[in-house]
Structure 1
Amino acid sequence: MAESERRILVAVDEGDESIYALSWCLKNLLFQNSKDTLILLYVKPPRAVYSSFDGTGYLFSSDITATMERYSQQVAECVVEKAKRLCNKIQNVETMIEHGDPRDVICQMAQKLGVDVLVMGSHGYGLIKRAFLGSVSNYCAQNVKCPVLIAKKPKSTAGDI
């Protein structure tokens, strides 16, 4: 029987939770000699809009804006490179850096790329934090059209320090 090729999208960010999800995926979903394609996606969030209470707002010079953008790009490249190093035994690894609201971009890219599964980490927020901060993984699980695997990093115990 011929081995089918799968396209697996893993959303990565600066958090340990996404690295855990990637590691879990590599250990449990991918095999060294498979023809699967692993796609690592990092989404740069939109630049924060700064404003003052009196409505005058803050204006940044083009130098400061360019510096902030360069830093954001360096962070993205660093995260993607770290994730890619974990995938050294996988033959087909693609990387992507996109810009926008992570919830929307992840769902759009899953659809556009026609992936077979989306793998994400979970911060494990409680009900109240999730209500205020939102949950990217929950949003994607509700809105993406492919199966979504949310790998929740186990809480460490006092003896694990």
Structure 2
Amino acid sequence: MAAASNRTIGIGIDYSPTSKSAVRWTIENLACAGDRVVLIHVLSKSDSNIQKQLWKEKGSPLIPLEEFKELNLSVQYGITPDGEVLDILQSASKTKQVKVLAKIYWGDPREKLCEAVEDLKLDSLVVGSRGMGTIKRVLLGSVSNYVLTNATCPVTVVKSIV
């Protein structure tokens, strides 16, 4: 086992297959004992709930994994964590001694992921790639391309294997 570390690793997640691959890849290849792994959710600007009004500028407080697994999270923030992702993170928390947290932002995922790098003082950020074709990427913009270009920490883009 690798020596204890104290890095903060962010993972952009929306529970798509590629973001799940990013979680798996991070736990298998990057996370070491003592690291903090922060799941970063970015919800749409149009999502409205009490929590958004309280935390819309800087995002939610950090949410520990134990609280993140609770059912009232979907009511509080409008997200429903994926059971498979929670199992992977729970296992990593125990076997690799990593601390798992979550943070929720509201707005444009490209901008908010880059803001999270500064806000959370990330040592590394991992995102999934949806694999859009060139035309869609030009028209819609690619979150992973934007983050690669603008984030102030190393960024790993994980492709989903189909």
Contact kept, 8 Å, 1:12 with 1:83, in 2: the verdict is no
How many residue pairs match? The answer is 133
Q: Do the aligned partners of residues 130 and 71 (structure 1) sit closer, same or farther apart at CA in structure 2, a change above 3 Å counting? A: farther
- 1:127 matched residue in structure 2: 134
Gapped runs of 5+ residues in structure 1? 49-64, 157-161
The two structures, once aligned, show a CA RMSD in angstroms of 2.5
Q: 1:146 aligns with which of 139, 145, 153?
A: 153
Q: 2:105 aligns with which of 98, 103, 122?
A: 98
Q: Which runs of 4+ in 1 moved over 6 A?
A: 69-72
Task: Give 1:76-91 correspondences, 5 Å limit.
Answer: 76=79, 78-79=80-81, 83-89=85-91, 90=93, 91=98
What is the CA–CA distance in structure 2 between the aligned matches of 1:20 and 1:6, rounded to whole Å? Answer: 21
What is the CA–CA distance in structure 1 between the aligned matches of 2:133 and 2:107, rounded to whole Å? Answer: 25
Q: TM-score, normalised by structure 2?
A: 0.73
- Aligned pair 1:114/2:121, yes or no? yes
Deviation of 1:137 after TM superposition, in Å, equals: 0.7
Q: TM-score, normalised by structure 1?
A: 0.73
Deviation of 1:4 after TM superposition, in Å, equals: 3.0
Letter in 1 for 2:21: Y
Contact kept, 8 Å, 2:15 with 2:82, in 1: the verdict is no
Q: Do the aligned partners of residues 153 and 117 (structure 1) sit closer, same or farther apart at CA in structure 2, a change above 3 Å counting? A: same
**Cα displacement string for residues 107-149 of structure 1 (whole angstroms, at most 9, x for unaligned residues):** 0011111111000000011110101111001101100000000
Identical aligned residues as a percent: 33
What is the CA–CA distance in structure 2 between the aligned matches of 1:81 and 1:112, rounded to whole Å? Answer: 27
Higher-Rg member (1/2): 1
Deviation of 1:45 after TM superposition, in Å, equals: 1.4
- Aligned pair 1:44/2:43, yes or no? yes
What is the CA–CA distance in structure 2 between the aligned matches of 1:113 and 1:104, rounded to whole Å? Answer: 14
Q: Do the aligned partners of residues 123 and 141 (structure 1) sit closer, same or farther apart at CA in structure 2, a change above 3 Å counting? A: same
- 1:12 matched residue in structure 2: 13
- 1:35 matched residue in structure 2: 34
